[in-house]
Amino acid sequence: MQFNIHTITDKDIIVIDAPKRLTSDISDDLKSIMKEYVDREKYNIIINLEETEFIDSSGLGAIVSKISITRSNNGDIKLAAPQRYVVDLLEVTHLNKVIEILDSVEEAIEGFEK
């Protein structure tokens, strides 16, 4: 598993560090991690894209897979610290309009607090 996961217990937030390349071979892992947390009623998820240089369609699929369910439970998925390439990709796919993108994990955490 190529994901570091941090739990910010007092704020009930899960931070998942995405790997360098989020492609079909590991997107399933990200999907099942998110599913696991959602199943445990953890609906505040931050995906830290700081290290991520490339995301393919399966990676995007994994990111969006739990948007609906988190939102319908008053939670959300936020993306933190994406690199230039990823920002372009999020714009092309219009995901930037769907998901809140923040410059750092700290800002994303603050975002949940509001």
Residues that bind other proteins (CB under 8 A): 27, 31, 56-58, 60-62, 64-69, 91-95, 97-98
Of 92 and 114, nearer to other proteins (C-beta) is 92
Listing DSSP states for the chain in one string gives: ---EEEEEGGGTEEEEE--SEE-HHHHHHHHHHHHHHHHTT--EEEEE-TT--EE-HHHHHHHHTTHHHHHHTT-EEEEES--HHHHHHHHHTTGGGTSEEESSHHHHHHHHH-
Of 3 and 8, nearer to other proteins (C-beta) is 3
Of 2 and 93, nearer to other proteins (C-beta) is 93
